[in-house]
């Protein structure tokens, strides 16, 4: 159905994968599609090139186009369609450079935008990642690292991650800053994304130079502070107030 088939078309195609060749009656029984609708679905699938038909003396038989062939065709057509749209739409796009803050919602949408920033990054990525973000973005970040993009990463969870400069944010400080479900991406000192919440996600993106600077500086200072903290001995930590010790541990 994600490829554009209706529910009945999808059921008919799946039924044909399991049993073919088959008559319309057999497809109707196997797919659980009313006989009054099965021939219409078969006709549309034939027009889509997903089903082949053989008209014989006693019955009309159907069989599916093999899944690999069908999916290769969809993939090829989608690439061609995207290339055509790219050529037509890009000249129309007037890039907004006012530095406004733009808001949107959705966990999937936030990860998709983060992925786009990571793919487009040429020099530097500064990030704050939860465990769930590491799982979702690891492959893209690995690709960025391999093409020479400098990574500065603050981890607020326990997931393993070893691309670029990585520090683990103290759990108490993560709680104080309410960063348990916060994703931040600063790309090439040019664009900034922050998304908060996993079940219900609100996100903001901007190319505002001042906001990008603040976001990047926040991550840079956290990376610096954690490097310094890692070198402090217990005797120096003991001189701090109990409140500061709790934050650092």
Looking up residue 146, the CATH number of its domain turns out to be: 3.30.870.10
Residues 6, 59, single domain; the answer is yes
Count: domains in the chain: 2
Q: Domain residues for 233? A: 101-248
Q: What is the CATH number of the domain that holds 32?
A: 1.10.10.10
- From 161, 177, 171, select the one nearest 127 (Cα to Cα): 161
- Could you tell me where the beta strands, DSSP code E, fall in 135-187? 150-155, 165-168, 182-187
Residues 67, 108, single domain; the answer is no
Residues 127, 215, single domain; the answer is yes
Residues 165, 121, single domain; the answer is yes
Residues 135, 234, single domain; the answer is yes
Residues 28, 112, single domain; the answer is no
Bond preceding residue 21 cis, omega within 30 of 0: yes
Residues 158, 205, single domain; the answer is yes
pLDDT value of position 229: 72
- Residue-wise over 57-74: b if at least 16 C-beta within 10 A, else e? eeeebbebbeeeebeeee
Total-model pTM: 0.69
Q: If you write DSSP's letter for every residue of 4-40 in order, what string do you get?
A: S--HHHHHHHHHHHHS-SB-HHHHHHHHT--HHHHHH
* Residue 226: band (very low, low, confident or very high) from pLDDT cuts 50, 70, 90: confident
Range from 20-34, 93-107, 204-218 carrying the lowest mean pLDDT = 93-107
- From 182, 142, 143, 135, select the one nearest 160 (Cα to Cα): 135
For residue 246, pLDDT beyond 70: no
How many Cα neighbours within 13 Å face the side chain of 9?
Answer: 17
Residue at a domain's end among 51, 66, 93: 93
- From 120, 126, 166, select the one nearest 143 (Cα to Cα): 120
Query: Is residue 62 a contact partner of residue 53, using CB atoms and an 8 Å limit?
Result: yes
Residue at a domain's end among 73, 93, 113: 93
pLDDT value of position 175: 77
Residues 108, 221, single domain; the answer is yes
């Amino acid at each position: 159905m994600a490829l554009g088939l209706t529910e009945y078309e999808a059921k008919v195609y799946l039924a044909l994968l399991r049993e073919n060749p088959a008559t319309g009656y057999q497809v109707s029984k196997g797919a659980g599609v009313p006989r009054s609708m099965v021939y219409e679905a078969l006709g549309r699938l034939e027009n889509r090139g997903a089903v082949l038909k053989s008209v014989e003396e006693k019955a009309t038989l159907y069989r599916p186009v093999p899944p690999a062939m069908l999916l290769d065709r969809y993939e090829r057509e989608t690439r061609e369609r995207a290339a055509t749209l790219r050529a037509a739409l890009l000249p129309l796009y007037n890039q907004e450079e006012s530095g406004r803050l733009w808001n949107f919602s959705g966990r999937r949408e936030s990860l998709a935008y983060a992925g786009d920033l990571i793919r487009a990054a040429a020099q530097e990525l500064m990030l704050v990642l939860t465990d769930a973000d590491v799982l979702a973005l690891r492959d893209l970040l690995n690709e960025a690292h391999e093409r020479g993009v400098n990574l500065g990463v603050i981890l607020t969870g326990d997931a393993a991650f070893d691309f670029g400069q990585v520090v683990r944010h103290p759990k108490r400080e993560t709680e104080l800053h309410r960063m348990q479900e916060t994703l931040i991406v600063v790309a090439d000192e040019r664009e900034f994304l922050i998304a908060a919440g996993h079940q219900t996600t609100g996100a903001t993106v901007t190319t505002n130079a001042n906001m990008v600077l603040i976001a990047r500086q926040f991550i840079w200072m956290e990376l610096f502070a954690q490097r310094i903290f890692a070198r402090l001995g217990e005797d120096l930590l003991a001189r701090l107030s109990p409140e500061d010790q709790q934050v650092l541990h």
